[in-house]
Each structure stands twice: as structure tokens, then as C-alpha cells.
Chain A
Amino acid sequence: AQSVAQPEDQVNVAEGNPLTVKCTYSVSGNPYLFWYVQYPNRGLQFLLKYITGDNLVKGSYGFEAEFNKSQTSFHLKKPSALVSDSALYFCAVRALRGRKLIFGQGTTLQVKP
């Protein structure tokens, strides 16, 4: 069965510092991995995805994520956090032949000035 785990309910970081939001996954076969961001009372916005190719994926708003097959991880990173990055972040996985996205429980990112 597919699953996604985001071990941290909340991540706090000071503005200007690097940030990491962790994600690990479990899926049969090659995973398709995604990060989405959600602002209060809004739908999800796509940040980036890993399908194949380079393990380091660059996405929107300066975010990037590194796919690590041996550790089954896909951590979201940003070199310098902004207060406006404060939001709820979701990691998601889709199996090779599946249509459905399975979401992690979400991590609230709080960036303080």
C-alpha cells in the first residue's frame, strides 16, 4: 500500500535561514512524488514534482526537493526562508500505474521575522 509520512507537525525557522520539511514515502515500484502548499482556507498549489531524472528537483518560489531512493525520502528545502513561506505543506505520492495522489499529514511551516 502507498503511504506518505511527514514526521513533523510544525517546523519553525527564522527568516533568512534555510528550511527543510521532511517527507518519507512507501510505494510499490517507482514513485511519483509531489509537494504542494496550502494557504489558509485555500486549495493546494503545486510546488514541484519528481518523476524521473535528476534527484534534485527545483520548483516554484525558490523551493527544491531531493529524491533519495535508498532512504525513501523527498525532503523539501529552501536556502533562505521568507515570512510569506509560512503555510501548510503537503507531500504526496502516486504509484506508477495509479491515478490517485496519497497525501502526507501535512507540516505547518512558521517563518518568523
Chain B
Amino acid sequence: GAVVSQHPSWVICKSGTSVKIECRSLDFQATTMFWYRQFPKQSLMLMATSNEGSKATYEQGVEKDKFLINHASLTLSTLTVTSAHPEDSSFYICSAPLREGSYNEQFFGPGTRLTVL
């Protein structure tokens, strides 16, 4: 099956620094990728839709300037948490549909655990 990877799998950073998380589709191209945030023992909250070649679409309440998304290529989307604070500590997961327009087949990355001290 299709594989989506994330890097790093975990990161610890100091408050005020920026952290970049990568999401890659390893064996397929993805013009769209989705970024989710998950708090402990809670559901996934969609943060934004990453679009290759255009701006990301953010969900209501998600700060665009804080969570920068760049869909650099057909296989790579990055999420940068800028000026991170302890409340940004969370599990970040990306997903990608196998085929453009086929949003019923989405593959999820393994997630990135961010801890901000």
C-alpha cells in the first residue's frame, strides 16, 4: 500500500524557537495533503489543507502565521511551528489521498510528537 512518512518522529525544542515537520508521500504523488493535530487521548483536529503550487487552506481558528505550511513538491509538505510555546506541544499527523480527487483513500503518516519546553 501507499506510504506516507513524517520526519522527525519526535522533537523537543525550547520555547520561542521554530520547528519544521516534513510529510512525504513515498511512492505516490500528492497534490493535496492534510495536517492534523491530536491532543492526548483526543480526536484528530484538522488544521489545514496543503495544496501543491498554491496557498494552504486553514481551518477556522488555526493561526496561519504560526503554523506555516509549504507544499514544496508533489511528494513533500512541511509544517513549521513558529515561535513555539508549550501549548503547541502535541502530536501532529499528516495524511495524503492516494489519487487526486479520491479522498476516500487517505494514507496517514506515523505522526510527529512535538514537545516545547
Contact = CB atoms under 8 A, between A and B. Distances in A.
Interface of A: 32, 34, 36, 41-46, 49, 51, 88, 90, 94, 98-106, 108
Given A94-B104, A99-B32, A99-B103, A43 B111 contact: yes
5 contacts: A44-B44, A46-B106, A98-B103, A101-B103, A103-B44
Contacts of A94: 103-104
B116 interface: no
Contacts of A34: 104
Contacts of B77: none
Interface string B98-113: 0000011011111101
B110 A43 contact: yes
B34 interface: yes
Contact of B104 (A32, A41, A108): A32
Contacts of B109: 43
Contacts of B75: none
Contact of A41 (B41, B46, B106, B113): B113
Given A32-B104, A99-B32, A101-B106, A44 B43 contact: no
